[in-house]
Amino acid sequence: MSLQEYITKTEEFVQSLFQDDASGHDWWHIVRVRDMALRLAQAEGADCFICQMAALLHDVADDKLNSSEEVGLKKVDDFLSQLGLPERDRSAILDIIANMSYRGGQKAQKPLSLEGQCVQDADRLDALGAIGIARTMAYSGHKGRLIHDPALEPRAQMTLAEYRSDGGTAILHFYEKLLKLKDLMNTDMAKTLAEGRHAFLETYLEQFYAEWRSER
C-alpha cells in the first residue's frame, strides 16, 4: 500500500466513527487538526506521514469516548495492525496518541517526538480562536452547562474528575483551559498562531462581559 492509500483508509475509518458527533469531536475537527499538523510538520521538517496519521487518529482513543484509555489505544493499535503498517510507524503513531492529551493539565507527560509536538499544537490551536469558542459553546450545550454564571470563580487546581465534572460553565472553560494553551505550544509557528487566537479570546471575553453588564 502507498502512504496515500494508508491515509485514505484511515480517513474512511475515522470519518465512520466521528461523522455523527456534535460534541466538539466531529469529523471536521479531525480534518482541521490534520491540515494544521501537516502545515506545522512542513515548517518544522517533521515526518508528514506520521503527523497526518496521528492527527487523523488522535481522538479515536479519547477516554471520553471509550470505556478506558487502554481500550481506546487498543482500538487504534488493532486498526493499524490490520492496515499492515510497519511496527516502527505503528509505535510512533501510538506513542503520540497516548501522550498528547491535555486532560485538565493533570498528567505528567512523556516528551513527545517532533511529529507529536506538531499534532499536539494543531489540536490545541483548534481549541483557540473563533473555532475554539464555537467548540466550547457546542460542548457546553452538549453537556447541559450554562454559558456563564457570574457567581462562579475559575478553579485553579483541579483533579481530572473535577475537570470533567458538569459543574462548570462555558466561560469558566476559557480560564480552566483555553487561556492557558498559548504558553503550552511546542513549535514556533504554533506559538505565533496561538498569539493571534489568544488575543481574539480576550477580545471576545471583554465584549462578553461588557454586554453582560449592559454597557455595549
Per CB under 5 A, does 123 bind Ni ion?
A: yes
Distance CA(188)–CA(114), nearest Å, equals 12
Which of 52, 136, 186, 187 lies at the binding interface for ligand ADP (CB under 6 A)? 136
Nearer to Ni ion among residue 115 and residue 123 (C-beta): 123
Which of 14, 46, 59, 189 lies at the binding interface for Ni ion (CB under 5 A)? 59
Per CB under 6 A, does 103 bind ligand ADP?
A: yes
103 binds, among Ni ion, ligand ADP, none (CB under 5 to 8 A by kind): ligand ADP
Which of 6, 13, 17, 24 lies at the binding interface for ligand ADP (CB under 6 A)? 24
Per CB under 6 A, does 76 bind ligand ADP?
A: no
Per CB under 5 A, does 121 bind Ni ion?
A: no
**113 by DSSP, 3-state: which?**
coil
Instruction: Give the binding range for ligand ADP (CB under 6 A) out of 151-159, 166-174, 194-202, 206-214.
Output: 166-174
Closest distance to ligand ADP from the beta carbon of 163 (Å): 7
Nearest to 88 by CA among 117, 121, 119, 49: 49
Closest distance to ligand ADP from the beta carbon of 194 (Å): 14
Q: Which residues contact 192 (CB under 8 A, 6 or more apart)?
A: none
Which of 37, 127, 171, 189 lies at the binding interface for ligand ADP (CB under 6 A)? 127
Q: How far from 155 is each of 108, 152, 159, 173, CA to CA, in Å? A: 19, 9, 10, 10
Give the residue carrying C-alpha cell 481522538.
59
Per CB under 6 A, does 116 bind ligand ADP?
A: no
Nearest to 124 by CA among 138, 137, 135, 113: 135
Nearer to ligand ADP among residue 40 and residue 85 (C-beta): 40
State which H helix or E strand residue 40 sits in: helix 27-44
Contact 182, 195 (CB under 8 A): yes
187 binds, among Ni ion, ligand ADP, none (CB under 5 to 8 A by kind): none
Q: Which residues contact 171 (CB under 8 A, 6 or more apart)?
A: 147, 148, 205, 208
Give the interface size with ligand ADP as a residue count (CB under 6 A).
Answer: 16
Amino acid symbol at 189 = M
Q: Give the DSSP letter of residue 176.
A: I
Footprint of ligand ADP (CB under 6 A) = 24-25, 62, 101-103, 127, 132, 135-136, 139-140, 168, 170, 173, 177
